[in-house]
């Protein structure tokens, strides 16, 4: 569905997951030379065990729902560190008032960490305020998912 991927406009596409099975599936489904898979966890990322160059866009869907507020804030700060000047970080989380929450809990035993808009904004608390220029929080069409995006400044003044 991403036209930039379909049109092969992305020079390098790095997929990180702690589950080797997910990475195998990605490799089988998308046989692209520009695709690189990295077997690693959030802990690996935070402990600098994953070697990533500067990134234009860091996109993370379906991960933050598993991370405590403190760990999630540290992860946001680490992902933001990897961005090139002008780069974009986009993350998502199921909303606290999402409509399928009780169903997921009762029938799928799927217990997530849900967040509201204020908690999503708080995830940027470890990113210095003068390092980003655009913070956006919005919901998907069905209002179940909250997105947070943060754009790194192109030049960062010290102090
Ligand atoms: C709900 S799936 C989302 C997958 C994909 N991002 C998507 O949007 O379709 C959650 C994924 O996060 C991975 N995951 C969960 N906790 C993780 C962690 N601490 N470090 C790395 N990956 C993790 C799981 O292996 C799983 O593939």
Whether 4 lines ligand 1, by a CB cut-off of 6 Å, is no
pLDDT exceeds cutoff 60 at 159: no
Q: In this structure, is the dihedral angle defined by the CA atoms of residues 104, 114, 39 and 89, taken in order, positive or negative? A: positive
pTM flag (> 0.85): yes
Whether 18 lines ligand 1, by a CB cut-off of 6 Å, is yes
Instruction: Write the DSSP assignment of 12-37 as a string of letters.
Output: -EEEEES-HHHHHHHHHH---TTEEE
- Counting from 1 in the atom list of ligand 1, the atom nearest the Cα of 92 is 8
- Categorize the per-residue pLDDT at 158 as very low, low, confident or very high, splitting at 50, 70 and 90: low
Is 155 exposed, middle or buried (CB count within 10 Å of its CB: 0-12, 13-18, 19+)?
exposed
The residue ranges of every structural domain in the chain are 1-40, 55-152
Whether 110 lines ligand 1, by a CB cut-off of 6 Å, is no
Q: Can you give the pLDDT at residue 36?
A: 95
Q: What is the pLDDT of residues 74-94, one digit of tens each?
A: 999 999 999 999 999 999 999
The CA distance from 124 to 75, in Å, is: 10
Q: What is the pLDDT of residues 123-156, one digit of tens each?
A: 999 999 999 999 999 999 999 999 999 999 998 7
Q: What is the pLDDT of residues 97-130, one digit of tens each?
A: 999 899 998 999 999 999 999 999 999 999 999 9
Greater pLDDT, 31 or 87: 87
Strand extents, DSSP E, 11-155: 13-17, 35-39, 55-60, 83-94, 132-139, 145-152
Residue of 142, 149, 150, 148 lying closest to 97 (CA atoms)? 142
CA of 156 to the centre of ligand 1 (A): 32
Q: Which CATH superfamily is domain 55-152 in?
A: Vaccinia Virus protein VP39 (3.40.50.150)
Q: Can you give the pLDDT at residue 2?
A: 83
Whether 113 lines ligand 1, by a CB cut-off of 6 Å, is no
- Counting from 1 in the atom list of ligand 1, the atom nearest the Cα of 22 is 27
């Amino acid at each position: 569905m991403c036209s930039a991927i379909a049109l092969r406009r992305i020079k390098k596409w790095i997929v990180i997951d702690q589950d080797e099975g997910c990475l195998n599936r990605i490799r089988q489904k998308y046989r692209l030379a520009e695709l690189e898979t990295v077997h690693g966890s959030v802990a690996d990322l935070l402990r600098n065990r994953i070697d990533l160059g500067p990134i234009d866009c860091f996109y993370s869907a379906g991960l933050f729902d598993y991370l405590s507020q403190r760990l999630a804030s540290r992860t946001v700060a680490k992902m933001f560190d990897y961005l090139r000047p002008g780069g974009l970080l986009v993350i998502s989380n199921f909303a606290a008032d999402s409509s399928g929450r009780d169903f997921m809990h009762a029938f799928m035993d799927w217990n997530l960490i849900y967040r509201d808009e204020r908690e999503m904004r708080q995830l940027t608390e470890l990113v210095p305020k003068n390092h980003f220029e655009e913070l956006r929080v919005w919901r998907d069409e069905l209002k179940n998912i909250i997105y947070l995006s943060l754009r790194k400044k192109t030049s960062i003044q010290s102090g």
